[in-house]
Amino acid sequence: MVSIPRFSALSPEWNAALVGAIASLPISAVVNWFPNSEATVGAGMMIFGAVTAGVVAAVRSVDSDAAGLYAGFLGGVLELVIFAVTTGTTVAWPLSRVAFFAFAGGVVVCLASMFGLGCGRIGGWLMRTVGSRWNPTASTS
């Protein structure tokens, strides 16, 4: 039996979010090979990572919504870091550009978290629905 790694210093929801975020990396790489795909790592964490986090949370009987929210948050933060690093930011930004980036970054992180919450809920629902069909104690003889 394969065991899912656990990070003991974090809550069970954060554990599921980290497992989902790490598991989403190869999925995002495969999706990026599709023709005309513009998939990014952060978007993969928001979608595939949050669904996987919801599934892992449902298996561990913790809140799949929170796990998806945290995975979406991680994806949003990673996407902002990638954007800031790749756009050639300079130290001499005018104050208006810094204020706009801070505001837009906050909006991106909030939307990514909400998107992750929805995907985590879908992952938890999938696990509860599909898992209940394979439950050996539910069969009647």
The tally of CA atoms less than 13 A away on the side-chain side of residue 3 is: 3
- pLDDT of residue 141 exceeding 70: no
Cα separation of 134 and 27, whole Å? 25
- pLDDT of residue 139 exceeding 80: no
Sequence-ordered strand ranges (E) for 46-132: none
Residue 86 confidence class, pLDDT cut points 50, 70, 90: confident
Burial of 5 (0-12, 13-18, 19+ CB in 10 A): exposed
Tens digit of each residue's pLDDT (9 = 90 or more) over 116-138: 999 999 999 999 888 777 666 65
Token pair for residue 69?
Answer: 């929210």
- pLDDT of residue 53 exceeding 50: yes
- Contacts of residue 126, defined as CB under 8 A and 6 or more positions apart, other chains included, come to 51, 54, 55
Instruction: Enter the pTM of the model.
Output: 0.81
Tens digit of each residue's pLDDT (9 = 90 or more) over 70-85: 999 999 999 988 888 8
- CA angle 17–87–69, rounded 5-degree value: 15
- Contacts of residue 115, defined as CB under 8 A and 6 or more positions apart, other chains included, come to 46, 47, 50, 72
Residue 34 confidence class, pLDDT cut points 50, 70, 90: confident
